[in-house]
Structure 1
Amino acid sequence: MFDLKTKISNKPIFIDLFAGAGGLSEGFVRAGFDPVVHVEADPGAAYTLRTREAFHLLKGRGDLTAYFAYLSGQLKRNELYSQAFGTGSNSVINDTIGAESLSKIFDLLDARIGTRRLDLIVGGPPCQAYSLVGRARSEQKMVGDQRNYLFVYYAEFLRRYRPNFFIFENVVGLLTAREVDGTRYFDMMLTLFKELGYSVEYQVIAADEHGIPQKRKRIILVGTRGRKCGFFPELDKVPTDFLVEDAIGDLPSLRAGKGAPYITSLEKPPSRWLVQSGLLSGTGCTTWHEARPHNPRDLRIFKKVVNKWNKKGERLSYNDLPEVLKTHSNRNSFLDRFKVVAADLPASHTVVAHIAKDGNYYIHPDNAQNRSLTPREAARLQTFPDDFYFESASGKPSRTSAFKQIGNAVPVLLAEQIARKFVENWS
């Protein structure tokens, strides 16, 4: 029988499909797994994956000088890659998974995997088609959206490579999303995976119950070959002994429009939670602590939102604003469109990709700073390490690209817990 405990010294190998910025992959790397291939459609996220792979390669050689020179703006991206990869290739396939690309992706995967046996496939297709918000905003409720069927292509990787296990991650809305005839996509998935010879178990996991400073629920499907039951890796509940302030409070104070995407020194002592989490870089620095600018009207609203929470512990409804500050005609829904990330709670509300559009739903709790969250603060809530750098397609820093990748990711420390449970329980 496959024994993960003995293989861990040789690093069990996996591929990450629909990889995004690599939150899920990073968690497995931290637990001792080796990602041989990432497949990601978004060019910015694909570069993020390459840069992170460069980090791990250089760290493995015991010299991160080139990496931190890059984060300081002293090296260009291609120069970093040259030092990390040399004349070899990286693990990232930047392509859209679909009928037209599948054969090409398989050829590239075959070359990377070689004669090795693939242990695990992880990943989750884009969630817009299954999400409750996505369906609410769609006139057709996302019925017929081709992204509903991306699980079919995920299954093709299972059919070809027959990994011992797979993990499929997505939004909780997957449990209720239906086809025109009322059939749940979720049931279609389970049937398909069973036809391929996999037993599947699943749970809805709340990140804040497992030491993540964010309320984020996701459905996790775990499959294993053969007819089995009771194999889902049960995560330990983590007592909440920290606050959101412990996750972001050590970052330098900024006003709206200030900060930088490159290296920033951490001027305040980190919290006990940050030290124990292993997210600190070890250099006393981080990146992407750059606040977006805001217009004067929004800054006035931010102050009211923060004051009401800090003084009364109450959320501000849009209808409570003075008329002079109201610009939206819709007064019946989305009344919490301005929301503070409360420092005195053990978990923030969910960080989603919409944070790339504006920061009104993610207002910093310190009124003296009067702004929305920076990408690094959002990344801390998603438990990305401080030395994790978010790229863009162009090579020029893009706050929008960083926010989108962060909002779409799996919390790194949650992924690490899942990975470690594989090692503990699956032999």
Structure 2
Amino acid sequence: MEKKVVELFAGVGGFRVGLNNVKLDKNGKTIEKNNFKFVWANQWEPSTKVQDAFLCYKTRFSKGNDDHEFSNEDISLVDKNSIPDFTLLTGGFPCQDYSVARSLSKEKGIEGKKGVLWWQINDILIKKNPPFVLLENVDRLLKSPSTQRGRDFGVMLRCFHDNNYSVEWRVINAAEYGHPQKRKRVYIFAYKNNTRHSESIIENTPEEIIFHKGIFAINFPISSNDKVTKKEIKDFVDLVEVSNDFEFSFENTGFLRDGIITTSKVYPHESKTINLIDILESNVIDSRYFLSEDNIKKFDYLKGNKRIDRISKSGHKYVYSEGKMTYPDDHNKPGRTMLTSEGTVNRSTHVVLDIITGEKRFITPIEAERLNEFPDNWTEMMSDKRRYFMMGNALVTGIVKKLGKSISKIIENEE
């Protein structure tokens, strides 16, 4: 079985950078060290005229004669049968409203909400039947929507079950496993039940897979865990019934097999941390990244304690409060979660003391790339604003790198 990969919602190539341990040489040429072959990638930004992420992806990975591998089209308009055959589907997709309903034709067809990108993934699972899937999402996916906790992830799991997959998941805070950013995301690994990998672990209980034998337990070991809870999703008639009636408290790790969900809250082993000081540039930094006196005053307010009297739209009076943040950011701790607003005068923005001058400044685009473990200057072909935005949207590639080593062995054992 060849290690052929499709990357959806590819951004600037986080999954590919991680799986292939990508580096840049002195001339900016991309060097892919592992043997995952990316046969097709889709990236499309609906709200921007200039497709910065796609252009970055294509610049870094184009070899001059294989442009058919890159798709800059709305994924909903792509004929899924035209996608090359592949072994592993990857993608980081938005957390959206996954509600489903009967079709208007009354032929008992099932329709997902329009514009929800999960249904494009599900369509590819049906049409292309890949043996392995690796996805990433924000951790609130497990608890959404607030009015019916767990429904959206339940819909996803039922789709996997209907397509004959088993599924493992884990919420991983990258900083807890030796990466430079406190970025918490849920990672989902699914595999067909007729694969050799599935057959090799079928004798293990769900608990053994979650705590010891599964891909997340092996790569991101735990120190302890709470009790497990279970729920059967196969007992629901179809996706419509799941959408209408399913509710469940998913914990930060779990396993789905044969339509039975097993989940538990686990606690990570302590790991040596990579801190901000480890990723800060030590050379002379351009003056444009240093804070003006006006910005210093604004950050003093934004990052300080607040108690503000407000009135809601209904006329109700309340007090809005915010606690004080560490300011400037502590060099001896991992970076906080980076948002797409990084580099602006915003409460969530990192402010560090420059190593040489000791003055307050923004992190540089290179440092933003380092927080996600991309090669330096990966996004240099776009403006600073867009570089920060891309990194605020990206994943910590080191997490994928760890998982990739296991997935590579799993695929090799399929032969």
Q: Which residue of 2 aligns with 1:280?
A: none
How far residue 388 of structure 1 moved from its aligned partner, in angstroms, is 1.5
Q: Which residue of 1 aligns with 2:394?
A: 409
How far residue 294 of structure 1 moved from its aligned partner, in angstroms, is 5.6
Q: Which residue of 1 aligns with 2:332?
A: 344
| Counterpart among 124, 127, 133 of residue 160 in structure 1 | 127
| Counterpart among 375, 399, 405 of residue 384 in structure 2 | 399
2:192 counterpart of 1:208 = no
In the alignment, the residues of structure 2 paired with residue 221 and residue 171 of structure 1 have an alpha-carbon distance, to the nearest angstrom, of: 11
* 8 Å Cα contact 1:27/1:413 also seen in 2: yes
Q: Which residue of 1 aligns with 2:282?
A: 250
SS at match of 1:348: coil
Deviations, residues 364-398 of structure 1 (Å, cap 9, x unaligned): 3216332222221111111111142254xxxxx32
| Unmatched 5+ stretches in structure 1 | 58-84, 131-143, 258-290, 307-314, 321-329, 392-396
SS at match of 1:168: strand
Deviations, residues 132-158 of structure 1 (Å, cap 9, x unaligned): xxxxxxxxxxxx9856x3211101111
2:312 counterpart of 1:362 = no
* 8 Å Cα contact 2:352/2:363 also seen in 1: no
In the alignment, the residues of structure 1 paired with residue 348 and residue 360 of structure 2 have an alpha-carbon distance, to the nearest angstrom, of: 13
In the alignment, the residues of structure 1 paired with residue 297 and residue 182 of structure 2 have an alpha-carbon distance, to the nearest angstrom, of: 27
Identity %: 23
In the alignment, the residues of structure 2 paired with residue 354 and residue 129 of structure 1 have an alpha-carbon distance, to the nearest angstrom, of: 24
* 8 Å Cα contact 1:120/1:164 also seen in 2: yes
* 8 Å Cα contact 1:169/1:218 also seen in 2: yes
Q: Which residue of 2 aligns with 1:240?
A: 272
Q: TM-score, normalised by structure 2?
A: 0.65
1:376-387 mapped onto 2 (5 Å cutoff): 376-387=366-377
* 8 Å Cα contact 1:339/1:361 also seen in 2: no
Q: Which residue of 1 aligns with 2:61?
A: 53
In the alignment, the residues of structure 1 paired with residue 359 and residue 146 of structure 2 have an alpha-carbon distance, to the nearest angstrom, of: 47
Amino acid at match of 2:399: L
2:10 counterpart of 1:23 = no
CA-atom RMSD, angstroms?
Answer: 3.2
1:97-246 mapped onto 2 (5 Å cutoff): 97-98=75-76, 101-103=77-79, 106-107=81-82, 109=83, 113=84, 117-127=85-95, 149-178=116-145, 184-226=151-193, 228=198, 230=209, 231-233=214-216, 234-236=218-220, 239-240=271-272, 242-246=274-278
In the alignment, the residues of structure 1 paired with residue 380 and residue 322 of structure 2 have an alpha-carbon distance, to the nearest angstrom, of: 30
2:398 counterpart of 1:419 = no
Instruction: Name the one with the larger helix percent.
Output: 1
Instruction: Name the one with the larger strand percent.
Output: 2
* 8 Å Cα contact 1:305/1:316 also seen in 2: yes
SS at match of 1:376: helix
* 8 Å Cα contact 1:338/1:360 also seen in 2: no
* 8 Å Cα contact 2:11/2:53 also seen in 1: yes
Which protein, 1 or 2, shows the higher relative CO under an 8 Å CA cutoff with sep ≥ 6?
Answer: 1
How far residue 417 of structure 1 moved from its aligned partner, in angstroms, is 0.9
| Counterpart among 294, 298, 321 of residue 297 in structure 1 | 294
Change (3 A) 1:187 1:339: farther
